Amino acid sequence: MRTVPAQIRRPEYVGRRAPTPYQGSHVQSAETIEKMRVAGRIAAQAMRAAAAAIAPGVTTDELDRVGHEFLLDHGAYPSTLGYRGFPKSLCTSVNEVICHGIPDARPLEDGDLVKIDLTAFVDGVHGDNCATYFCGDVDTESRLLTERTEEALNRAIKAVRPGRQVNVIGRVIESYARRFGYGVVRDYTGHGVHSAFHSGLVIPHYDEPAYDTVMVPGMTFTIEPMITLGTHDWVIWDDDWTVLTADGSRTAQFEHTLVVTDTGAEVLTLP
């Protein structure tokens, strides 16, 4: 685990087994949303700084170092560092790893798909984002998967409206992914985020009417579809973090933090 200077504010869960359960509203004040714009911008910039280091032979631990140092340089704490014991400052999920990959000494190889999931904690709030990047020359199937996963996220964001249930988000994502025969991961979802890293609000990426929370202005959450070339089923390593497709198929992911507005959504994780 990398060190963080004492003057950088930590989330309340650092040094504890789990965060305090969030009991507040899913709707945030204008002041909190403005703080989230700052945190989101830093998170987006840090993710891109780490991604710029992707190349064959570079380790995912080096990507972690770059992202970590960028966050510290901007007065931010890496939200994943110490969250429920997670040992690193960002997640690197390569190829068939769906999410929560732990940066390590594995050198990246030409043709790898690299997901970087990075969250910044600044002034008491979190900004959470993820994107899929290419290492060297990636095959056409992987490129199309990546482009279409990003398009699925964009379509989902456009579907956000006050008065609609959150299940519309999953319906839009799954209907688009099914055109290409892709799988949509079900058990890892978007979530409420603000002063809490994960508030308990669930944002599905597949068509599930049971998720019927109605969107209202000021509500903040992530949308982060994980789309696979094969099955949506998964397995997890004995590190209790690294989640992989059960059939070994590749997967892509994109994520933004956003706030529901009077007419739609504003993306908060923009560089």
Read off the pLDDT of residues 33-42 as tens digits, 9 standing for 90 and up: 999 999 999 9
Rounded to whole angstroms, the Cα distance separating 98 from 242 reads: 8
Per-residue pLDDT at 268: 98
C-alpha dihedral, 73 to 75 to 76 to 78, nearest 10°: 50
Query: What does the pLDDT look like over 134-158, one tens digit per residue?
Result: 999 999 999 999 999 999 999 999 9
Per-residue pLDDT at 100: 98
Per-residue pLDDT at 135: 98
Per-residue pLDDT at 18: 97
Q: State whether the Cα torsion 37-42-47-51 is positive or negative.
A: positive
Per-residue pLDDT at 47: 98
Rounded to whole angstroms, the Cα distance separating 267 from 2 reads: 30
Q: Which amino acid is at 120?
A: A
Per-residue pLDDT at 179: 98
Q: How many angstroms separate the first and last alpha carbons of the chain?
A: 26
Encode 20-34: b = buried (16+ Cβ within 10 Å), e = exposed: eebeeebebeeebbe
Q: Are 107 and 101 in contact (CB under 8 A)?
A: no
Backbone angles phi, psi at 45, to 5 degrees: -70, -40
Band (pLDDT 50/70/90 cuts) for residue 69 is: very high
Band (pLDDT 50/70/90 cuts) for residue 124 is: very high
Rg (CA), the chain: 17
pTM exceeding the 0.75 threshold for the entire prediction: yes
Q: Return the closest-CA partner of residue 99 out of 82, 80, 121.
A: 80
Band (pLDDT 50/70/90 cuts) for residue 76 is: very high
Mean of pLDDT values over 89-117: 98
Query: What does the pLDDT look like over 234-262, one tens digit per residue?
Result: 999 999 999 999 999 999 999 999 999 99
Give percent of the chain above pLDDT 70.
Answer: 100
Per-residue pLDDT at 188: 98
Rounded to the nearest integer, the mean pLDDT of the chain is 98
Give percent of the chain above pLDDT 90.
Answer: 100
Per-residue pLDDT at 126: 98
Per-residue pLDDT at 14: 98
